[in-house]
Amino acid sequence: MVKSIANEDTPALPRQDRSWALFLDLDGTLVELVDHPDHIVVDDALKTRLQTLTTLLDGAVAVISGRAIDDLDRHLTLPTLAMSGQHGAEWRDSQGERHIAEHHQKALEAVRQRVNEQVRRDEALYLEDKGASLALHYRHHPEAGDILKSELSALIEEYPDALELHQGKLVFEIKGCGYDKGTALERFLTVPPFSQRCPVFIGDDRTDEDGFRTVNAHQGMAIKVGTGDTIAGSRLKNPDAVHEWLDQWIDRLQHS
């Protein structure tokens, strides 16, 4: 059930008597949202924080993002970090091996051309072609949301078994059916070093709710960043608060 929770629900640090796996969204969670996805700022402190946590949690740390892994690597420059990109359609395991989902690629190819035509007609739109999914950003044309939603829904309706439309913060994504941040987390939790560990997932957007559902099913810690309804059990205010909370956890892990 969706509930509104207050800021005083700031999460306690994970209990010391359990083993944890940490999953993190990037945009709006570890870095502030900016006007263009290429303009996010990943500073050295964030990279060090992720590396330290990966060491302290025996490798059980993964970034779970809507971005493509190539894009995540460009910004994070942590090529051995486990991650899932494109809402679960691709992933890199803790051994560094890359995997990609294929079943929806043909349908995606068929709609790619038509989405491109749409973007050419409205220069306020920005299409991010991630390979296994398409993200249409309309943050410079926010009033176009309703019409875009119906146009994109019509575009994919001939492929109900292959494609689905997701709405994020001023972005629509056309992606393969059957993958989301919840399935991405679940997949990691079946293999070492994540298996047998209790998940923590921190995310800010509507698509992160799928991840929270998986975490809740495993009795883990689901942490929502910012405002808005959520099924997460606790909340942090913004990326700065996330960094602070992670640093406190690092401190506790280092002194246990």
Active site residues: 25
Q: Please, which residues have CB within 8 angstroms of residue 247's CB and are 6 or more apart in sequence? A: 49
Q: Does 27 bind Mg ion (CB under 5 A)?
A: yes
Annotate each residue in 139-158 with x if it binds Mg ion (CB under 5 A) or - if it does not, as one string.
--------------------
Residue nearest to Mg ion (CB): 28
Q: Does 205 bind Mg ion (CB under 5 A)?
A: yes
Min separation Cβ 171 and Mg ion, Å: 10
Among 25, 90, 180, 210, binds Mg ion (CB under 5 A): 25
Q: Does 180 bind Mg ion (CB under 5 A)?
A: no
Q: Does 209 bind Mg ion (CB under 5 A)?
A: no
Among 14, 23, 24, 28, binds Mg ion (CB under 5 A): 28
Q: Which is nearer to Mg ion, 193 or 203 (CB)?
A: 203
Please provide the size of the chain in residues.
256
Q: Is 202 exposed, middle or buried (0-12, 13-18, 19+ CB in 10 A)?
A: buried
* CA dihedral sign, ordered 54, 60, 63, 68: positive
Tokens 């942590």 belong to: 78
β-pairing verdict for 61-64 and 20-24: parallel
Q: In the numeric block, which tokens belong to residue 181?
A: 């941040």
3 in helix, strand or coil? strand
Positions touching Mg ion (CB under 5 A) are 25, 27-28, 204-205
